[in-house]
């Protein structure tokens, strides 16, 4: 840590940053200690094993459908739906391993992370780590959270940034219509037209050869399994359809907790305040838990990034109680309302940009 040392504070200088709530920091540390004593940081390996098996089962079923019923429309679409579920659920599972929340040692988490994201999804683990850890450190903080890189070239996000962009008379897109074109260039296109090529560029440019081998094993497995059944053109059509469906699933779920929330430059607030202003929850249900990979508990996930996801609902009442005590808004909403709020927030920020652009 010596290379990071700036200097020693003089005795008369405060030892706590004025932008942070010391009482809240101390109480969250107490909550963290209580959570560990309650065993909520310990994973249930059986849960994750069953989760992996259900992904593999759907993967096999998708192949069996085409093998059994041939290349007609209904089997083709059913297989595509099953494969998109495989991709989405494997995405949530790799997220668990990437956060080191499954095994007690980082070595095993990293190893299985390579298998799940590389062999089951065809993406590099190093790329995910590089992007996702920045997001967790400073969620919804412009220029620090890479998930906000779509601002301002495709969308204008948040009230403050949108007004700022309007005052600067900058217009890269017709932002006042962004709630409409989001449905055209957001969910349908992100995975197919961005992630699909960028992950290869990332792996090669950074010389992540181990990641590249894992990725190629995914494409080889898919081609060997499906080209004999549906031909090369059929396989390419199936693959693009799966990525198209997966892209919708991924975008709506990952953005419902963040885009409608506060977006601004980093204000250097304490950990709990930073996470709560940038995240919200979606109500618990069996379907919501499965569909979102338990990211409907986004607040708890951001506060305790290494906590196994099956324990989020147990710590949620404790987090809500702490938020209530300190007057911090704890939001939880129905799934469809969360989806709708993405569109509403884009419409609002687009209108704020237009007003500032025309009148300020």
**Cross-strand bridge partners of residue 332:** 281
Between CA 157 and CA 165 the distance in angstroms is 10
Between CA 162 and CA 352 the distance in angstroms is 6
Between CA 21 and CA 204 the distance in angstroms is 44
DSSP for 289-327 reads HHHHTTGGGHHHHHHSTTS-GGGHHHHHHHHHHHHHHTT
User: What is this structure's pTM?
Assistant: 0.92
| pLDDT tens readout for residues 114-124 | 999 999 999 99
Q: Is the peptide bond before 152 cis (omega within 30 degrees of 0)?
A: yes
Here the tokens at position 4 are 């990071």
Helix (H, G, I), strand (E, B) or coil at 333: strand
Between CA 184 and CA 248 the distance in angstroms is 10
Distances (CA, A) of 25 to 20, 41, 47, 275: 8, 20, 32, 13
DSSP annotation of 44 reads: -
> What per-residue confidence (pLDDT) applies to 193?
79
Question: Looking at the predicted structure, is the pLDDT value of residue 236 above 90?
Answer: yes
Here the tokens at position 108 are 């095993």
| pLDDT tens readout for residues 267-301 | 999 999 999 999 999 999 999 999 999 999 999 99
Q: Are 339 and 256 in contact (CB under 8 A)?
A: yes
Identify the weakest region by mean pLDDT among 153-167, 190-204, 326-340: 190-204
| pLDDT tens readout for residues 2-30 | 898 988 888 887 778 888 999 999 999 99
Crossing angle of helices 209-255 and 125-137, in 10° steps, is 40
| pLDDT tens readout for residues 206-221 | 999 999 999 999 999 9
Q: Are 310 and 40 in contact (CB under 8 A)?
A: no
User: What is the arithmetic mean of pLDDT over 104-131?
Assistant: 96
User: What is the arithmetic mean of pLDDT over 50-62?
Assistant: 97
| pLDDT tens readout for residues 254-268 | 999 999 999 999 999
Between CA 270 and CA 305 the distance in angstroms is 16
Helix (H, G, I), strand (E, B) or coil at 177: helix
Distances (CA, A) of 296 to 92, 183, 284: 12, 21, 7
- What mean pLDDT, rounded, does the chain reach? 95
For residue 222, the surrounding DSSP H or E stretch is helix 209-255
The 3-class SS string of 52-75 reads HHHHHHHHHHHHHHHHHHCCCHHH
Here the tokens at position 244 are 């198209």
Considering only residues 333 and 184, tell me which one the structure prediction assigns the higher pLDDT. Answer: 333
Distances (CA, A) of 160 to 141, 163, 340: 12, 5, 21
Between CA 48 and CA 90 the distance in angstroms is 11
In the block, tokens 């260039």 appear at: 185
In the block, tokens 């996470």 appear at: 275
């Amino acid at each position: 840590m010596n290379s990071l040392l700036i200097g020693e504070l003089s005795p008369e200088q405060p030892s706590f940053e004025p932008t942070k709530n010391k009482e809240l920091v101390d109480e969250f540390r107490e909550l963290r200690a209580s959570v560990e004593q309650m065993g909520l940081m310990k994973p249930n390996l059986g849960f994750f094993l069953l989760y992996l098996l259900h992904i593999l089962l759907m993967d096999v079923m998708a192949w069996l459908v085409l093998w059994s019923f041939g290349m007609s429309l209904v089997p083709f679409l059913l297989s595509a739906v099953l494969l998109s579920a495989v991709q989405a659920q494997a995405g949530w599972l790799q997220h668990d391993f990437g956060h080191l929340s499954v095994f007690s040692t980082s070595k095993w988490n990293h190893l299985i992370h390579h298998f799940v994201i590389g062999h089951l999804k065809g993406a590099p683990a190093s790329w995910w780590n590089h992007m996702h850890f920045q997001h967790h450190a400073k969620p919804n903080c412009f220029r620090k959270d890479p998930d906000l890189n779509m601002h301002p070239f495709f969308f204008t996000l948040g009230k403050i940034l949108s007004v700022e962009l309007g005052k600067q008379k900058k217009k890269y897109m017709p932002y006042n219509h962004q709630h409409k074109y989001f449905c055209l260039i957001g969910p349908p296109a992100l995975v197919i037209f961005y992630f699909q090529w960028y992950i290869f560029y990332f792996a090669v440019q950074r010389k992540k050869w181990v990641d590249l081998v894992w990725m190629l094993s995914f494409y080889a497995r898919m081609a060997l399994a499906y080209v004999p059944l549906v031909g090369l053109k059929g396989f390419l059509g199936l693959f693009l359809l799966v990525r198209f469906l997966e892209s919708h699933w991924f975008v709506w779920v990952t953005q419902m907790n963040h885009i409608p929330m506060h977006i601004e430059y980093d204000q250097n607030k304490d950990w709990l305040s930073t996470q709560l202003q940038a995240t919200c929850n979606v109500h618990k249900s069996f379907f919501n838990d499965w569909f979102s990979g338990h990211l409907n508990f986004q607040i708890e996930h951001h506060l305790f990034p290494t906590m196994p996801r099956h324990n989020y609902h147990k710590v949620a009442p404790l987090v809500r109680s702490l938020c209530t005590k300190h007057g911090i808004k704890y939001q939880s909403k129905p799934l469809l309302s969360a989806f709708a709020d993405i569109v509403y927030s884009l419409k609002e920020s687009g209108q704020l940009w237009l007003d500032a652009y025309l009148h300020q």
